[in-house]
Amino acid sequence: MLEQLNQLDQTLFFFINQNLSNSFFDWLMPFLRNRYFWTPLYLFMAIFFVRNFGKQGWLILLFMALTFGITDYFSSSILKPAFERLRPCNDPVIKPKVNNLIPCGTGFSLPSSHAANHFALALFLITIFYTKWKPILSIAILWAFSISFAQVYVGVHYPLDVTFGGLVGGMIGYIMSTSLIHLQAFKDWKPGN
């Protein structure tokens, strides 16, 4: 069963990494998975939250930072060493066939920390803002999915890595956002104001 899952994961990996390969994606995907590419978005959110929600905006930022930190630590320092799965670009069996668009990195593969971190932030934002701004659902999921897809496309993660990372991150993001909503200082939260 585990061997069949691994084979399916590799097949899907090569479909994304090779069969979907094209010059536009070869240019775009390394940007999407680069943390610095999203810096203007993070800066915009920080200014927007503080400017529009005051003290509650600062709490949102604090809890977003905690969400990111907890998710990154849990995925990178606990789960990856526990699973010890090689990245596709470091696996000696398939490495020669991998279309690697960025430096591979030395860390393990399962789960993808990029996927975990961004799905954590996506679920955090969805939970906080969905009642007043429904488009946040599709925008946040598409954002996290595009970063996760890029991880597979550039050759540094398997589809199972990003799927598992997304699930782990989503759970942490949901737990952190519901914890924030239940704080006394957040009891009159009205994201539509």
CB 115 within 8 A of CB 148: yes
Residue pLDDT, tens place only, 140-187: 999 999 999 999 999 999 999 999 999 999 999 999 999 999 887 777
* pLDDT confidence bin for 71, thresholds 50/70/90: very high
For residue 122, pLDDT beyond 80: yes
| Residue spans per domain, the chain | 25-186
pLDDT band at 190 (very low <50, low <70, confident <90, very high): low
pLDDT tens-digit readout, 75-116: 999 999 999 999 999 999 999 999 999 999 888 999 999 999
Q: Using the Cα atoms of residue 31, residue 72, residue 115 and residue 64 in order, give the sign of their dihedral.
A: negative
| Distances, alpha carbon 132 to alpha carbons 30, 92, 136, in Å | 33, 50, 9
- ω into 81 cis (within 30 of 0): no
Question: What's the average model confidence in pLDDT over 5-32?
Answer: 95
- Nearest in space to 120 (alpha carbons), one of 78, 70, 159: 70
